[in-house]
């Protein structure tokens, strides 16, 4: 049995993707909390290129970047638990496309909301962009229960870890995601209600808001 360790920060949407995947597969692992301001030596040596979480260490060998790690987990632990990526080549490419869409769009518009002073013009811009991204995702979801079809899949895991941040976006930008995007809100609730691997892997939304508030004060944004 491989020794598995995850370097993570509890609020990280990217690191928490890995937690969901490991839980879905039933893989036992040790989680090490990283300070994202004063980064630890193991993180710096394991991911010298980006110096970011998550890093998955399997028998001491590092795998970096969350979507890469999800695919690694699917392959390395193929004999246990359900696969995140579908067997069909077209469906697999489609799942990768939407996961990449989330990675391209979400950090950019979210950063305009929480990484700038409250009331800055960028906040309104970020809010409008985020609602647009969510509506595009609602269009892809349609009437399916999950982006992956009938079961939680790769694209679902890529997006659902941003849900604990919704409260922070709403409070800082002054809007309601539930009102703007009811289909996506229902999907988020379904992910947690029907999938223990999601429910037990996501942080409390209020804890995320408090953490972000501390970061904003640290960087002089409050």
Question: Helix or strand or coil: residue 220?
Answer: coil
The tally of CA atoms less than 13 A away on the side-chain side of residue 70 is 28
Q: What angle do CA 73, 76, 80 make, to 5 degrees?
A: 80
Q: How far apart are CA 156 and CA 86, in angstroms?
A: 13
For the sheet with 30-33, list strands across it: 30-33, 4-8, 55-58, 61-64
163: confidence class by pLDDT, cuts 50, 70, 90:
very high
pLDDT digits (tens, 9 = 90+) for 108-162: 999 999 999 988 999 999 999 999 999 999 999 999 999 989 999 999 999 999 9
pLDDT tens-digit profile of 65-88? 999 999 999 999 998 988 999 999
Q: Is the pLDDT of residue 93 over 80?
A: yes
| pLDDT band per the 50, 70, 90 thresholds, residue 37 | confident
């Amino acid at each position: 049995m491989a020794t598995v360790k995850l370097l993570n920060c509890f609020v990280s949407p990217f690191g928490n993707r890995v937690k969901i995947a490991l839980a879905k597969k039933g893989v036992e692992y040790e989680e090490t909390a990283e300070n994202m301001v004063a980064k630890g030596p193991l993180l710096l040596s394991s991911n010298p290129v980006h110096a970011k979480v998550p890093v998955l260490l399997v028998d001491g060998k590092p795998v970096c970047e969350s979507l890469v790690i999800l695919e690694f987990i699917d392959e390395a632990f193929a004999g246990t638990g359900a696969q995140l990526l579908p067997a069909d080549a077209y469906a697999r490419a489609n799942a990768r496309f939407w996961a990449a869409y989330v990675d391209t769009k979400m950090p950019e518009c979210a950063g305009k909301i929480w990484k700038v002073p409250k009331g800055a013009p960028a906040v309104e811009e970020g809010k409008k962009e985020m609602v647009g991204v969510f509506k595009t995702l609602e269009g892809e979801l349609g009437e399916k229960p999950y982006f992956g079809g009938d079961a939680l899949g790769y694209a679902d895991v890529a997006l659902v870890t941003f849900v604990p941040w919704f409260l922070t976006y709403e409070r800082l930008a002054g809007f309601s995601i539930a009102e703007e995007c009811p289909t996506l809100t229902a999907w988020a609730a379904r992910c947690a209600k029907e999938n223990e691997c999601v429910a037990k892997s996501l942080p409390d939304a209020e804890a995320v808001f408090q953490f972000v508030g501390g970061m904003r004060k640290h960087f002089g944004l409050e």
